[in-house]
């Protein structure tokens, strides 16, 4: 088992870093969604043609 880890250490480290980045992105999207902000649009709703679809007034 130790030989497998040492032979694939680079792959394991890169995979762990990528997994952490993806987890951070998903966590940020969930936080934005829960706070009522749109996860797909980073700007305000003024002048947005899809504002009525996002926010029901």
pLDDT at 17: 98
Q: What average pLDDT score do residues 16-43 get?
A: 84
What is the average pLDDT value for the chain, to the nearest integer? 83
Residue 54 has which token pair?
A: 């996002």
Alpha helix stretches (DSSP H) within the chain? 2-7, 9-34, 51-54
For 38-53, give the DSSP string. Answer: -SS--S-STT-TTHHH
- Percent of the chain residues topping a pLDDT of 70: 74
Give CA–CA dist 29/46, Å, rounded: 21
Give CA–CA dist 47/35, Å, rounded: 21
């Amino acid at each position: 088992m130790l030989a497998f880890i040492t032979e694939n250490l680079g792959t394991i480290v890169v995979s762990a870093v990528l997994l952490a980045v993806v987890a951070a992105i998903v966590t940020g999207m969930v936080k934005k969604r829960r706070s009522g902000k749109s996860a797909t649009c980073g700007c305000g709703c003024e002048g947005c043609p899809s504002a009525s679809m996002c926010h029901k007034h």
